[in-house]
Amino acid sequence: MLRRHNSGVTLLHGRRALTKTHASGVGLAQAEFMAEALGVGIPPLGGEVHAKVATGVLYRAIAVSSLDVRRPEARMVLAQLLRTAAMQRGAFNTIEV
């Protein structure tokens, strides 16, 4: 589940936080890319969105959340992570986040 709050966006599995982005420009960009990796949209402030994804997709969403998307090198890694996540969505057994 992605949950958006005043301080940023948190990715949870069950009730445990897996990763968090901050409510800055970079943090919101990370959150949007993380949502894209999961195949969902970013929730509105105070909202949440659920997704069922393969563990590989989840791993890539977590990786995306830690990239400094301002750097060109990170953008190259981001593109590869998003392509791989797109290929894996729906192709493997899923877990709910």
Q: How confident is the model at residue 96 (pLDDT cuts 50, 70, 90)?
A: confident
Instruction: Place 93 in a pLDDT band, splitting at 50, 70 and 90.
Output: low
DSSP secondary structure of 52-82: EE-HHHHHHHHHHHT--TTSHHHHHHHHHHH
pTM recorded for the entire structure: 0.89
| Average pLDDT, rounded, for the chain | 93
What whole-number percentage of the chain has pLDDT above 70?
Answer: 94
Whole-angstrom Cα distance, residue 76 to residue 69? 9
Whether the Cβ atoms of residue 53 and residue 60 lie closer than 8 Å to each other = no
Whole-angstrom Cα Rg for the chain = 12
The predicted-structure confidence for 22-68, as pLDDT tens digits, reads as follows 999 999 999 999 999 999 999 999 999 999 998 999 999 999 999 99
Contacts of 61 (CB under 8 A, 6+ apart): 11, 19, 34, 37, 38, 53, 85
